[in-house]
C-alpha cells in the first residue's frame, strides 16, 4: 500500500480528488445570517489510500482507524480531511480527532459493523451514573470523540447507517449486557459542525453532543422506523451554544431532546444545557415529541428557542418531561411558529415522569419550571387534549404563557369532552382557541406586553479564532463578540459588541 502523503498539492493528491480539493478543502459553514466560516484543511487523504474496500462486506475498521491516527498527527499543521468516496464502507467503531473533517462524497455510506466483539463496554456518562437501558456501562458508540476542538462531519448528503435492527432485536429480547451505544457522540468538545448528511437506524440515540460547546447541526436527515426503541434524533446534553436548523427527523422517539443528566448524578455533575436554538425542524414521531425537554434534566435547562417547527403524525409538539427526584430547573423556554397535523397533544408538560437510575435519588429534589412561552401555534386534527399540563404538588410550574393558538380537533373527538387538563400550573393565555383551562388566565394583551422587554439570547456558534467571511454579520474576528460566551445574557448587547451589524447568527430572541 502506498504511504499516504496527507499533503494538499497537485502532485500528492490522486487525480480524482483534485476537484474535491478545489471545491471542498475550504469548507464554508453557512451561519444564520448568511455569512460563512471558512475551515481550510491543508492535508487531505482518501480512505482507499489505507486499503479500504467499499463493497459493503469487507471490514474497514483498520483502514478508518489508521487513517484518522495518521491525520491526527497533522492537526497542528493546518488540520486534515478524510474523504470517504462513493461505496458502502463497513466498519467497526472509530474515534475522531481535532482540527479534522470527515467528508462523505455522494452515495458514500459508512455502515456500522454488527460484530459485537468490536463494541467494548465502556464507562457510563458521569451525569447519568449508569447506562440508560440498564445498570452498568454501555457499549461503545459507533463514531465518537472526546476533548476535541474544531471537528466537521459533512459531505454531499452521504449516509451513516447504524444497522440498528440488530441492536433493537437484542434489546427487545433482553440479550444485551449493557446499554446500547449512540450512532454519533462527541464529549467535552467544542466548535463542532455536522451538516449535509443522513443518519439511519441508530442502535440508540442518533446524534449526541454531551458536555459540548459551540455546536452547529444543519441540513441533517435522521431516519429510523417509528417503532424502533429510543432512537431519538438529536440530543444536546449538558451542552451550550447549540444551533439545530433545517433538519428532518423520522424517529421512534423524540425528534430533538434536550437533556442535562439524571437525578442525583446530574445534580452532582451540574452542567446545564443552555442557549440552544432549534429552527426549521420537521418531525414525524407517533409516540413521542417534536422537541422534548428532559426527562433527564437534573443539571438544568435554560434559554431555549424553538421556532418554525413542523410536526406530523407525532404525539406532541413541545413536551417538558420531569418529575420528583430530578431537581434542576427548566426556565426561559421560547417556542414560536409551530405547525402541527395529526397530533395527540399540542402542549404537554409532565411533572410525574418516573424512572430513576437507582435508589439514591432524593424525593426532596423538585424541579423548578418557569418562564415557558408558546406563540403562533396552529394545529389540526388533534386527537387528544389540546393541553395536558401537570405540575407537581407543592411545586407549581409558573409563568407559562400561550398566545395566538388555534387547535382544531379531528372529526371523531366529542365536542363536549374536556380539551384541557391543567394541574399545579399557573400562567396566562391570549387569543387561545379552544378556551384554555382555569390555570391559564385569559388576558387582553399578548405575553410580550405583560412584563419587561425580552432580553437578547446570545449564541457563539463559531470558534472565537475563526474569521467570518461573506456578506453580513460581524466582518472581523468573532473574538470581538466574545461577550456572548457569558452564561447569563442579561448584560450582553450584540449591537454594542458588533456595532452597525445584525449578527443574527450570534443572537436569538427570548
How, if at all, do strands 121-122 and 138-139 pair? antiparallel
HEC string of 178-221 equals: CECCCCEEEECCEEEEEEEEEEECCCCCCEEEECCEEEEEEEEE
DSSP 395: B
Q: Given the DSSP bridges, would you call strands 440-442 and 273-284 parallel, antiparallel or unpaired?
A: unpaired
First CA to last CA distance, the chain? 56
220 contacts 234 by C-beta, under 8 angstroms = yes
**Catalytic pick among 150, 161, 232, 253:** 253
Rounded-to-integer distance, Cα 106 and Cα 103, Å: 10
Which residue matches cell numbers 397535523? 341
- 157 alpha-carbon distance from chain centroid: 18
CB atoms within 10 A of CB 106: 10
**CA–CA distance, 479 with 329 (Å, rounded to integer):** 31
**Residue 34 and residue 503: Cα distance in Å, rounded?**
10
Q: 162-186 b/e with 16+ CB inside 10 Å = b?
A: bbbebbbebbeeeebebbbbbbbbb
Distance of alpha carbon 223 from alpha carbon 220, whole angstroms: 10
- Which segments of 201-272 are extended strands (E)? 207-210, 213-223, 240-250, 256-258
CA distance 114 to 165: 10
Hunting for cell 447519568 — which residue is that? 128
Distances (CA, A) of 197 to 157, 158, 337: 4, 5, 26
Q: Check whether the bond before 141 is cis (ω within 30° of 0).
A: no
The DSSP secondary-structure symbol of 96 reads: -
313 carries an active-site annotation? no
Catalytic residues: 253
Amino acid at each position: 500500500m502506498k504511504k499516504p502523503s496527507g499533503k494538499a498539492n497537485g502532485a500528492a493528491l490522486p487525480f480524482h480528488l483534485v476537484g474535491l480539493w478545489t471545491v471542498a478543502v475550504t469548507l464554508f459553514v453557512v451561519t444564520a445570517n448568511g455569512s460563512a466560516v471558512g475551515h481550510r484543511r491543508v492535508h487531505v487523504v482518501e480512505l482507499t489510500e489505507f486499503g479500504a474496500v467499499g463493497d459493503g462486506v469487507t471490514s474497514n475498521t483498520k483502514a478508518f482507524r489508521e487513517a484518522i491516527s495518521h491525520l491526527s498527527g497533522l492537526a497542528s499543521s493546518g488540520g486534515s480531511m478524510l474523504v470517504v468516496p462513493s461505496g458502502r464502507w463497513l466498519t467497526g467503531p472509530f474515534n475522531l480527532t481535532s482540527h479534522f473533517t470527515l467528508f462523505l462524497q455522494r452515495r458514500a455510506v459508512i455502515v456500522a459493523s454488527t460484530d459485537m466483539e468490536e463494541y467494548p463496554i465502556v464507562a457510563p456518562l458521569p451525569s447519568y451514573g449508569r447506562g440508560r437501558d440498564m445498570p452498568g456501562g454501555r457499549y461503545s458508540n459507533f463514531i465518537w470523540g472526546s476533548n476535541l476542538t474544531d471537528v466537521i462531519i459533512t459531505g454531499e448528503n452521504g449516509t451513516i447507517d447504524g444497522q440498528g435492527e440488530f441492536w433493537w432485536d437484542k434489546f427487545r429480547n433482553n440479550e444485551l449486557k449493557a446499554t446500547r451505544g449512540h450512532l454519533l457522540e462527541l464529549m467535552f468538545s467544542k466548535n463542532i459542525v455536522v451538516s449535509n448528511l443522513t443518519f439511519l437506524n441508530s442502535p440508540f440515540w442518533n446524534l449526541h453532543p454531551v458536555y459540548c460547546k459551540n455546536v452547529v447541526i444543519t441540513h441533517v436527515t435522521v431516519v429510523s422506523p417509528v417503532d424502533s426503541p429510543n432512537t431519538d434524533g438529536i440530543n444536546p446534553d449538558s451542552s451550550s451554544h447549540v444551533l439545530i436548523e433545517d433538519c428532518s427527523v423520522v424517529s421512534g422517539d423524540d425528534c430533538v431532546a434536550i437533556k442535562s443528566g439524571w437525578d442525583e448524578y446530574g445534580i452532582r455533575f451540574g452542567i446545564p444545557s443552555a442557549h440552544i436554538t432549534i429552527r426549521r425542524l420537521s418531525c414525524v414521531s407517533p409516540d413521542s415529541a417534536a422537541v422534548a425537554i428532559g426527562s433527564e434534566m437534573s443539571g438544568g435547562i435554560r434559554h431555549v428557542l424553538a421556532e418554525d417547527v413542523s410536526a406530523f403524525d407525532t404525539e406532541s409538539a413541545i413536551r417538558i418531561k420531569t418529575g420528583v427526584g430530578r431537581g434542576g430547573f427548566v426556565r426561559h423556554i421560547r417556542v414560536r411558529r409551530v405547525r402541527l397535523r395529526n397530533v395527540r397533544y399540542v402542549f404537554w408538560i409532565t411533572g410525574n415522569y418516573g424512572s430513576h437510575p437507582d435508589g439514591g435519588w432524593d424525593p426532596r429534589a423538585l424541579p423548578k419550571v418557569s418562564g415557558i412561552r408558546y406563540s403562533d401555534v396552529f394545529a389540526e386534527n388533534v386527537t387528544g387534549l389540546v393541553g395536558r399540563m401537570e405540575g407537581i404538588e407543592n411545586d407549581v410550574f409558573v409563568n407559562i404563557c400561550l398566545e395566538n393558538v388555534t387547535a382544531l380537533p379531528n372529526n371523531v373527538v366529542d365536542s363536549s369532552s374536556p380539551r384541557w387538563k391543567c394541574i399545579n400550573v399557573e400562567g396566562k393565555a391570549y387569543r387561545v382557541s379552544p378556551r384554555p383551562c382555569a390555570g391559564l388566565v385569559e388576558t387582553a394583551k399578548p405575553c410580550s406586553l405583560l412584563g419587561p422587554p425580552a432580553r437578547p439570547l446570545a449564541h457563539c456558534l463559531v470558534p472565537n479564532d475563526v474569521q467570518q467571511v461573506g456578506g453580513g454579520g460581524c466582518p472581523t474576528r468573532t473574538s470581538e463578540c466574545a461577550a456572548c460566551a457569558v452564561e447569563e445574557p442579561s448584560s450582553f448587547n450584540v449591537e454594542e459588541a458588533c456595532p452597525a451589524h445584525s449578527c443574527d447568527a450570534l443572537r436569538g430572541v427570548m
